[in-house]
Copies of this chain bind each other. A is one copy, B any other.
């Protein structure tokens, strides 16, 4: 279910009658009822095992693939690549500080040496970086957009701000932002697209009109590079093990590429979650739940003991969707 909304909610609508005062975002998450948690299907999880680090410990990264209507051509390719075990043996080739960790075939651009891709991969167009906004049917959002458009019309008569400056509202990059099935998205009211936040996973590509296959992927390890939105396919989000990527040594070549093969981190295996026997069940806090609305409000208005000045605002990438390992039932 679509739950696109402004990233800042009014605290007036929130559980005023609660007996227990839950002050921090973490307390809200801990108190969320079981019904507010959504199990992520193992078939929507991509499990990447890096070669162990210097301490010999395993390094597993778990990625939640984005669901319809977003990037389905690319996630389809990723499923095929994983099924073909194509990713096994490739490497982390690039770590650029405050930007991305990227993995792929180190010889992918070398004629005659590139690892052949499996048959049946799709080619996507740039139009597929966005989806049709079914939000056009969401009454609350329609009302918000109508109010913004009315406002922009009036504004142009009383100030020298451009309509775009008003219409962007509280997000510098889009008219409205929100969450769809546990992942951050943005919209202009007609189209909707996934946003690049910390932990987002996208598809490496060459110069336009190339859109990439999914054989080369990256994860964001810095401040949200929202300029990439609608310019690259977002295919999911790291939900566990991001620290195994974000703490890798930075590459010293251009754009953070490693300069020698020895610097790369080998990828032992990439499997779909359904094919990994020891994978726990993961859940995200439903972004359509009341618990999430309160959590978002607490992120925007920190009033616990440590804070003296609530911000009264928060950006979409500063509201990470909570993830937990599901409690085992009956044990």
- A interface, CB within 8 angstroms of B: 7-8, 54, 95, 97-98, 126, 129, 147-148, 150-151, 154-155, 158-161, 164-166, 168-173, 197-199, 207-208, 222-227, 229-231, 242-243, 246-250, 299-300, 302, 305-315, 317-318, 320
Most buried by B among A129, A199, A224, A310: A224
Residues of B within 8 A of A309 (CB): 129, 229-231
A249→B250 contact, CB < 8 A:
no
B307→A231 contact, CB < 8 A:
yes
A173→B222 contact, CB < 8 A:
no
Q: In the complex, A247 Cα to B148 Cα: how many Å?
A: 42
Assess A249 versus B247: contact at CB under 8 Å? Given A172-B170, A172-B171, A172-B313.
yes
Residues of B within 8 A of A302 (CB): 227, 231
A222→B198 contact, CB < 8 A:
yes
Taking the closest CB of chain B, its distance from the CB of A151, in whole angstroms, is 5
Residues of B within 8 A of A222 (CB): 198, 222-223
- Residue in B158, B223, B313 whose CB lies within 8 Å of A197: B223
Q: In the complex, A150 Cα to B158 Cα: how many Å?
A: 7
Residues of B within 8 A of A197 (CB): 223
3 tightest A-B CB contacts, nearest first: A172-B313, A147-B159, A230-B309
Chain A facing B: main interface SS: loop
30 A–B contact pairs at CB < 8 A? Answer: A95-B247, A97-B247, A98-B242, A126-B308, A147-B161, A150-B159, A151-B155, A151-B158, A151-B166, A154-B154, A155-B155, A164-B312, A165-B169, A165-B170, A168-B170, A170-B170, A170-B171, A173-B314, A208-B307, A208-B308, A224-B318, A227-B307, A227-B310, A227-B311, A227-B318, A230-B309, A231-B308, A243-B249, A243-B250, A246-B247
Taking the closest CB of chain B, its distance from the CB of A253, in whole angstroms, is 13
> Looking across the interface, which residue of chain B has its beta carbon closest to that of A10?
B162
Assess A317 versus B155: contact at CB under 8 Å? Given A98-B199, A170-B165, A246-B97.
no
> Looking across the interface, which residue of chain B has its beta carbon closest to that of A98?
B198
Taking the closest CB of chain B, its distance from the CB of A248, in whole angstroms, is 7
- Residue in B148, B170, B207 whose CB lies within 8 Å of A306: B207
Taking the closest CB of chain B, its distance from the CB of A244, in whole angstroms, is 9
Most buried by B among A158, A208, A250, A309: A309
Residues of B within 8 A of A299 (CB): 227
Most buried by B among A8, A207, A243, A250: A243
Taking the closest CB of chain B, its distance from the CB of A11, in whole angstroms, is 12
A151→B161 contact, CB < 8 A:
yes
